[in-house]
């Protein structure tokens, strides 16, 4: 259908998110999709049974705006048990339609036109569009290649009177890097005495390897007092399609968050909140995630060792970065497309997360897949690059 309006696009340069682009291409080419981050295995029946129970029990009308009390109580219990933080489930926890909505809502609640928001490149792809939608300006700090560590002196130098927010993400997508307790102390030093709000994207909080502990901002008293912390059940319980997440933060910040949330989604799908609340009662389901994914990470790394890819460290998340310099001179976007079309394995080019398009010849694999999927992908890669490992 033709439109009769002249559109003066608000985002003339904005394309479609890389995750949609690569998943579409993967389907078109019947490639093994190790691009977009989602599990190709099923969650447990107990979760679906719980959802069914609540549907049939008639819990099908609007949940309270902030989320089902049962789920907020379960979240408060989990965050207290893991990070020693006491968030009030009435006033300091809000259930969201996934982390994406949580992040967008937090940015809309605090960032005004002309405000600056510091983000770290490579940067997860939803942050900057959210900042720009509300008229803010993204200011880039850089994670150092190839260990993707932040430089807090650089961050300090980027602070201006317009800095409203700093967005951090650990475990980090796409790099698999972690922030340490010392990083949090350094960040606290940077923002001390200011009114900067910290937005902490911790959707992979349960996926850390080799015994590393997650440094949650919830557990850092000084930072928690100025932070909105985001998590997502999609990652934790293998249900990315349910789009349920949550935020925790001090009551005064949460009150501002809810001013936007109530007119953004108002409230989130109820029966799935109740099902998750039931499912969370067994803490081994989130606590066991690290070991579950460590096994997949190790198996996948072993499979890739028989290819010419050079693997970067993966300390958390379900993403593995790999350099392909020995295999191709293509730019990473072209390499990702070529790999999808010609080899039949879809990946994400990491330069899409770089504001200046910086290309370190690195692609991201998602290993949240069944063993046979990973084996099939590796077999295609080994066939495409015989004897080059």
* Cβ nearer to ligand PMP, comparing 203 with 276: 203
In the complex, what is the shortest distance from the CB of residue 7 to ligand PMP, in angstroms, rounded to a whole number? 27
Choose the one of ligand PMP, ligand GLN, none that binds residue 169, judging by a C-beta under 5 to 8 angstroms depending on kind.
ligand PMP
* Cβ nearer to ligand GLN, comparing 40 with 256: 40
* Cβ nearer to ligand GLN, comparing 237 with 385: 237
The answer to whether 201 contacts ligand PMP (rule: CB under 6 A) is: yes
Between CA 301 and CA 307, with CA 302 as vertex, the angle to 5 degrees is: 85
Exposure string over 206-243, b if 16+ CB within 10 A, otherwise e = bbbbeeeebbbbbbbeebbebbbbbbbbbbbbbbbebb
Please state, in angstroms and rounded to a whole number, the distance separating the CA atoms of residues 68 and 70.
Answer: 5
In the complex, what is the shortest distance from the CB of residue 240 to ligand PMP, in angstroms, rounded to a whole number? 5
The answer to whether 124 contacts ligand PMP (rule: CB under 6 A) is: yes
DSSP alpha helix (H) spans, 137-283: 152-158, 181-191, 221-224, 233-236, 251-264, 270-279
* Cβ nearer to ligand PMP, comparing 215 with 343: 215
Choose the one of ligand GLN, ligand PMP, none that binds residue 245, judging by a C-beta under 5 to 8 angstroms depending on kind.
ligand PMP
C-beta nearest to ligand PMP: residue: 98
The answer to whether 19 contacts ligand GLN (rule: CB under 6 A) is: yes
- Cross-strand bridge partners of residue 137: 116
Give the residue from 293, 315, 290 showing the smallest Cα distance to 369. Answer: 293
Sign of the alpha-carbon dihedral angle for 328, 330, 336, 342: negative
In the complex, what is the shortest distance from the CB of residue 20 to ligand GLN, in angstroms, rounded to a whole number? 7
**Cα–Cα separations (whole angstroms), residue 235 to 39, 210, 241, 286:** 9, 19, 10, 10
Choose the one of ligand GLN, ligand PMP, none that binds residue 234, judging by a C-beta under 5 to 8 angstroms depending on kind.
ligand PMP
Give the residue from 258, 273, 275 showing the smallest Cα distance to 66. Answer: 258
Q: Please, are residues 47 and 239 in contact by the beta-carbon 8 Å criterion?
A: yes
Choose the one of ligand PMP, ligand GLN, none that binds residue 36, judging by a C-beta under 5 to 8 angstroms depending on kind.
ligand GLN
**Please, is 188 exposed, middle or buried when counting C-beta atoms within 10 Å of its C-beta (0-12, 13-18, 19+)?**
middle
Stretch near ligand PMP under the rule CB under 6 A, chosen from 94-102, 137-145, 208-216, 254-262? 94-102
- In the region spanning residues 68 to 87, those forming contacts with ligand PMP, defined by CB under 6 A, are none
Between CA 22 and CA 26, with CA 24 as vertex, the angle to 5 degrees is: 65
In the complex, what is the shortest distance from the CB of residue 9 to ligand PMP, in angstroms, rounded to a whole number? 25
Choose the one of ligand PMP, ligand GLN, none that binds residue 99, judging by a C-beta under 5 to 8 angstroms depending on kind.
ligand PMP
Q: How many residues in the shown chain lie near ligand PMP by CB under 6 A?
A: 14
Choose the one of ligand GLN, ligand PMP, none that binds residue 307, judging by a C-beta under 5 to 8 angstroms depending on kind.
none
- In the region spanning residues 230 to 269, those forming contacts with ligand PMP, defined by CB under 6 A, are 232, 234, 240, 243, 245
Please state, in angstroms and rounded to a whole number, the distance separating the CA atoms of residues 369 and 345.
Answer: 13
Please state, in angstroms and rounded to a whole number, the distance separating the CA atoms of residues 320 and 347.
Answer: 10
The answer to whether 36 contacts ligand GLN (rule: CB under 6 A) is: yes
Q: Which of 32, 37, 200, 343 binds ligand GLN (CB under 6 A)?
A: 37
The answer to whether 173 contacts ligand GLN (rule: CB under 6 A) is: yes
C-beta nearest to ligand GLN: residue: 37
In the complex, what is the shortest distance from the CB of residue 23 to ligand GLN, in angstroms, rounded to a whole number? 7
Between strands 163-169 and 137-142, the pairing is unpaired
Question: Is the peptide bond between 146 and the residue preceding it cis, with omega within 30 degrees of 0?
Answer: yes
Give the residue from 73, 65, 89, 99 showing the smallest Cα distance to 245. Answer: 99
Binding residues vs ligand GLN (CB under 6 A): 17, 19, 36-37, 173
Binding residues vs ligand PMP (CB under 6 A): 37, 98-100, 124, 169, 173, 201, 203, 232, 234, 240, 243, 245
């Amino acid at each position: 259908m033709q439109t009769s309006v002249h559109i003066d696009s608000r985002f003339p340069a904005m394309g479609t998110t890389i995750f949609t682009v690569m998943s579409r291409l993967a389907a078109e080419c019947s490639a093994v999709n190790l691009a977009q981050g989602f599990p190709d295995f099923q969650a447990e029946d107990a979760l679906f049974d719980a959802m069914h129970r609540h549907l049939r029990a008639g819990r099908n009308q609007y949940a309270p705006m902030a989320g089902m009390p049962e789920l907020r109580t379960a979240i408060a219990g989990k965050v207290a048990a893991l990070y020693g933080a006491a968030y009030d489930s009435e006033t300091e926890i809000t259930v969201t339609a996934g982390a994406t909505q949580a992040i967008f809502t937090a940015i809309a609640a605090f960032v005004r036109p002309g405000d600056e928001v510091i983000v770290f490149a490579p940067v997860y792809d939803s942050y900057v569009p959210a900042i720009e939608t509300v008229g803010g300006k993204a200011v880039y700090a850089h994670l150092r290649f190839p260990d993707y560590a932040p430089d807090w002196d650089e961050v300090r130098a980027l602070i201006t009177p317009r800095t409203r927010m700093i967005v951090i993400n650990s475990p980090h997508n796409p790099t698999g890097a972690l922030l340490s307790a010392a990083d949090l102390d350094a960040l606290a030093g940077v923002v001390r005495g200011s009114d900067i709000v910290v937005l902490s994207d911790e959707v992979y909080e349960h996926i850390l390897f080799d015994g590393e502990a997650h440094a949650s901002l919830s557990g850092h008293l000084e930072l928690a007092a100025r932070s909105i912390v985001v998590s997502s059940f999609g990652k934790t319980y293998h249900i990315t399609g349910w789009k349920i997440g949550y935020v925790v933060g001090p009551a005064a910040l949460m009150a501002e968050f809810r001013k936007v949330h109530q007119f953004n989604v108002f409230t989130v799908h109820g029966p799935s909140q109740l099902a998750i609340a039931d499912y969370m009662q067994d803490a081994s389901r989130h606590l066991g995630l690290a070991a579950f994914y460590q096994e997949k990470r190790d198996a996948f790394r072993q499979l890739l060792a028989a290819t010419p890819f050079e693997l970067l460290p993966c300390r958390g998340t379900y993403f593995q970065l790999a350099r392909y310099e020995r295999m191709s001179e293509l730019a990473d976007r072209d390499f990702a497309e070529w790999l999808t079309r010609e080899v039949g394995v879809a990946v994400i080019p990491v330069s899409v997360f770089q504001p200046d398009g910086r290309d370190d010849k690195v692609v991201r694999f998602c290993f949240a897949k069944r063993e046979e999927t990973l084996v099939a992908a590796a077999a295609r890669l080994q066939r495409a690059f015989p004897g080059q490992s």
